[in-house]
Structure 1
Amino acid sequence: MAFRQVARVTGKFSVFWPEWLEVTSVSEDDAPEIGDFLLRLGHPLRPECQPSTLDGATYYVRRLFDYHRTNRNYPLALQCSTIVRQTESGQIVGVCLVGGGGDGGQEFGVYDIQVDPNCRNQGIGTSMIRRSLMILAEHGIPK
């Protein structure tokens, strides 16, 4: 749904990131750090995950990766997924996990998007979605 809302605007997107933020694509090695971030925010992990533990949160993130790894477009989904960190501290303030495109298809979706409460209402979530859409468009995936 988030992709559809942002996709209503016609034309190319531009994404502005303030200097105090560092933006990168997600890699599988980021799972523990993303898990820690989700724990900090009080994310409702799935019941089979050990509640309120870093191991459980890391398992939750790795499960998302495992679920999509067999898809041909998995590398593109990882590239569209975003981690936003504070430049000085390196602390995560936003995560957008994208998956989909199963069997090489063109349907991608946001599986999880979280922004630190202290950094909300600054356009970080919207910018993560726009970044994902831009990367998909660069690879010929329609809005």
Structure 2
Amino acid sequence: MVSNWTKIPPPLFRKVVIVLIDALRDDFVFGSKGKQFMPYTTQVVEKGTSYSFIAEVKPPTVTMPRIKALMTGSLPGFIDVVVNLNSPALLDDNLIWQAKTAGKRIIFYGDDTWVKLFPKHFVEYDGTTSFFVSDFTE
């Protein structure tokens, strides 16, 4: 008998959109305030056409170590906090590299720390420095 444990299952979806919002309170999406503040997001979650996940982390919540932890599944180290402002490219196995290697088209909009960690991984991107945020309502 031949084992098929190495066989990759077929994909469940053609496209995946990941929306990661740092410091967003979960009740603004899932609670009573969800319909007021994020009606579309609340609607797709309630219809069951999307999956949601709430992550709660412990301090220090520094950007680069948290992105690294999310994408690699590893625990951030002390040195990650030190090099946060001058993030080198992430060379460890990670979700973004796996998607790119699989031929997926990755588009990114957000904190430029991602662009520094994953250079040449995005076919289109617009990185914004986290120190230049003038609009706190949108």
Which structure would you say has the larger RCO, counting Cα contacts within 8 Å and 6 or more residues apart?
1
More strand by share: 1
Relative to the length of structure 2, the TM-score reads: 0.26
Bigger radius of gyration among the two: 2
More helix by share: 1
Relative to the length of structure 1, the TM-score reads: 0.25
